[in-house]
Amino acid sequence: MLKNIVFGLLFFPGSLLLAASPLYNVPDAPEEYTEKKNKYTSQKDIEIGKKYYEKECADCHGESGEGDNDDKSVVAFNNSDWMKTRSDGQLFYIAAEGAGDDSDMEGYGPWSEMGYSDKRVWRIIAYIRTLIP
């Protein structure tokens, strides 16, 4: 009995960690963001989003969303397995707010240095969604 408990305590947290270990190190968006939906997904929105993506995001995330596949440090937007797990609101949150002080991913939202409007950030997200091969 005691042996079982000790065993469980030793291995349970380890397996939890393994199961939850994500491909990329991205903070989870708060609920008020994950519920948001993208209202800017027309062909025109996507074209404008592409322009800003190529100007500001492609240096790190890659022209075709290939990310940094060597050390998995930059999210690959063309990785469909990963992108399936991402809500629009999650993508918007990181694009607008950044991925935290330790991250190279800075926020582009209205209050940031870049000062992009919500609409512009959403348009970039609409374009990112087209990068799945």
Looking at residue 54, the DSSP 8-state letter turns out to be I
For ligand HEC, the closer of residues 41 and 90 by Cβ is: 90
Structure tokens at 63: 């022209």
Residues 3-42 vs ligand HEC: string with x where CB under 6 A? ---------------------xxx----------------
- Strand, coil or helix: 98: strand
Question: How far apart (Å, rounded) are the C-alpha atoms in residues 59 and 37?
Answer: 27
Q: Tell me how far CA of residue 97 lies from CA of 40, 57, 100, 112, 121, in angstroms.
A: 19, 14, 8, 8, 11
End-to-end CA distance of the chain: 53
Count of residues of this chain found to bind ligand HEC when the rule CB under 6 A is applied: 22
Positions in 50-79 near ligand HEC (CB under 6 A): 56-57, 59-61, 73-75
Work out whether 91 is an interface residue with ligand HEC (CB under 6 A): yes
Q: Read off φ and ψ for residue 59, nearest 5 degrees.
A: -55, -40
Give the shortest CB-50-to-ligand HEC separation in angstroms: 11
For ligand HEC, the closer of residues 3 and 84 by Cβ is: 84
Work out whether 46 is an interface residue with ligand HEC (CB under 6 A): no
Residue ranges in contact with ligand HEC by CB under 6 A = 24-26, 56-57, 59-61, 73-75, 86, 90-91, 94-95, 99, 103-105, 108, 124
